[in-house]
Structure 1
Amino acid sequence: MPISTSPPPELVVHDWPLPYEARLNHRGLSAIDLVVIHCTELPDMAMTREFGERVHYPQKGTGNSGHYYITEAGEVYRFVANDRVANHTKDWNTRSIGIEMFNLGRYPHWGDSRHQAFTVAYTKAQIQSLLALLRQLKHDIPSLRHIAGHEDLDTRLEPASDDAKIMLRRRQDPGPLFPWEDVVPASGLARLRP
């Protein structure tokens, strides 16, 4: 069956650029070959937006954020344009698009060794919107080839907040409840696990 070069069905993306978006480094779309899937590990959009607007790098006036956010209801928000380098995955930002899936994850006990289980499943609406977004990105960015979880790319350890002798993975998202077995084949992207 020939691969279609026509645009995918209409995807509604709500543009909500971060205040510092124009200060993020510009890049050509051909530099992008990777999508990184994240989990917000926050309870709502208000807190997620506030976290994204925080300035963590005063010299540039920028912070940490993904490009896209997908709510439990499947709504898609764009905080950073594709041609800007968002700060979402250490050492992988220049070549990747970051997609944040709303999910409580380990909130609010991220660093507590007694609360490391992910207990909330991703919704069908979220996964459908993610797949529609991935189709749109593949159409818009022909160099896109790979998909990875934040947990695949950032394997650093840090002491647990409740016991410094216990070392925990800093990043465990999107976590064990993310349906990789469905997303990878449907996305047409190869899973990258360095």
Structure 2
Amino acid sequence: MDTAQPLARPHWLSYSERLESRPLSAIDLVVLHCTELPDMDTARQYGERVLYASGTGNSGHFYIDRDGRLEQYAPLNRIAHHVRGYNPRSIGIELVNRGRWPHWLDSRHQAMDEPYTSAQLDVLLQLLDQLRQQLPGLRWIAGHEDLDREQVPASDDPAILVARKRDPGPQFPWAYLLANTELRRLHVPG
């Protein structure tokens, strides 16, 4: 792979320059997500929503569509808001996948049955390789579900608790990914 050619098409969020900056040496972790939305356009709309007093919102750095199209929404030297407690040290990669959409917290709709495409996985592995070459401190990879284990009341029945985050979910092929990258899965006690 030619690392001089970036894989991702820059498509900066309107607030990307308002995201807090960081040195690239601070990055040692990739966090994988699924968008839990129907398509890339909807993911972009959600990413553009301003949610914080800083004028920023929730977004990953990279988005990989089902056909393998890769877009970068935030520069690596900016801290994107994609996972509680780990943002300053991590890069967020979002894979387009409907997940539990549109009933994210409904206890009757917790199955995440959409498989990831081979195009997504191929591009993800290329991106991870490119990031490893760019960022010598990058060593770890985790799923959002590994790092945010909070249980919340279900939207249909507050007496039932459901996982706030389940992505990238049960369809994500962790064994395949880990066999094809130098990154190691970060396990957090708890």
Matched, 1:13 2:8: yes
Q: Could you tell me which amino acid in structure 2 is paired with residue 165 of structure 1?
A: A
Could you say which residue in structure 2 is the equivalent of 1:3?
A: none
Matched, 1:148 2:142: yes
Whether the aligned pair in 2 keeps the contact of 1:15 and 1:77 (CA below 8 Å) is yes
Q: Could you tell me which amino acid in structure 2 is paired with residue 121 of structure 1?
A: P
Distance in 2 separating the partners of 1:83 and 1:176: 31
% identical aligned pairs:
52
For the residue of structure 2 that corresponds to 1:77, the secondary structure is strand
The one of 165, 169, 174 equivalent to 2:163 is 169
Distance 1:26 1:11, change over 3 A: closer
Could you say which residue in structure 1 is the equivalent of 2:37?
A: 42
Could you say which residue in structure 2 is the equivalent of 1:183?
A: 177
Matched, 1:54 2:49: yes
Structure 1 unaligned residues grouped into runs of 5+: 1-5
Equivalenced residue count is 188
Matched, 1:76 2:70: yes
Matched, 1:23 2:44: no
How far apart are residue 9 of structure 1 and its match?
Answer: 8.3
Cα deviation 1:28-66 (Å, max 9, x = unaligned) = 110000000000010112211110000010x20000000
Distance in 2 separating the partners of 1:176 and 1:134: 21
Q: Could you tell me which amino acid in structure 2 is paired with residue 108 of structure 1?
A: P
Distance in 2 separating the partners of 1:49 and 1:78: 11
Distance in 2 separating the partners of 1:187 and 1:84: 24
Matched, 1:63 2:63: no
For the residue of structure 2 that corresponds to 1:114, the secondary structure is helix
Q: State the TM-score, normalized to the length of structure 2.
A: 0.96
The one of 76, 85, 93 equivalent to 2:87 is 93
How far apart are residue 150 of structure 1 and its match?
Answer: 0.1
Q: Could you tell me which amino acid in structure 2 is paired with residue 66 of structure 1?
A: G
How far apart are residue 12 of structure 1 and its match?
Answer: 2.8
Runs of 4+ displaced beyond 4 Å: 6-11
Distance in 1 separating the partners of 2:73 and 2:127: 14
Distance in 1 separating the partners of 2:131 and 2:124: 10
How far apart are residue 153 of structure 1 and its match?
Answer: 0.1
Distance in 2 separating the partners of 1:8 and 1:50: 30
Distance in 2 separating the partners of 1:102 and 1:84: 22
Structure 2 unaligned residues grouped into runs of 5+: none
Distance in 1 separating the partners of 2:54 and 2:85: 18
How far apart are residue 92 of structure 1 and its match?
Answer: 0.3
How far apart are residue 193 of structure 1 and its match?
Answer: 1.3
Q: State the TM-score, normalized to the length of structure 1.
A: 0.94
